Amino acid sequence: MLFHVRMDVNFPHDVPTHVADEIKAREKAYSQELQRSGKWRHIWRLAGEYANYSIFDVDSNAELHDILTALPLFPYMKISVTPLCRHPSSIRDDDA
């Protein structure tokens, strides 16, 4: 199942730098692990915003929920999820 996910991060400015850096490092490691596994297929930064658009390829709504809530930055995010399905005019075989 493919999902388009927008993640907007609102990280508090009063968090000590060393704590913020540790959370961001864990977030990067987790997201890269998911990308290598194929679960997090694409990620794009939104220019000028602390936000991204991502495409996830997971087996269920519950799996996506578990992945998103395990993000170290999850407590500081507003997340919007849109389910996707293959368009009949698509020429790509890998967008099922």
CA distance 96 to 90: 10
What pLDDT, on the 0 to 100 scale, is given for residue 95? 66
Q: Which domain holds residue 7?
A: 2-84
The answer to whether residue 92 is domain-embedded is no
What pLDDT, on the 0 to 100 scale, is given for residue 90? 86
**Predicted structure pTM score:** 0.90
What pLDDT, on the 0 to 100 scale, is given for residue 88? 87
The answer to whether residue 53 is domain-embedded is yes
| Neighbouring C-beta atoms of residue 34, cutoff 10 Å | 19
| Per-residue pLDDT tens digits for 79-91 | 999 999 888 898 8
The answer to whether residue 93 is domain-embedded is no
The residue-averaged pLDDT of 34-44 equals 97
Residue 53 has pLDDT above 70, yes or no: yes
The answer to whether residue 89 is domain-embedded is no
User: Could you tell me where the DSSP H helices lie in the chain?
Assistant: 17-37, 61-69
Q: Give how many domains the chain has, as a whole number.
A: 1
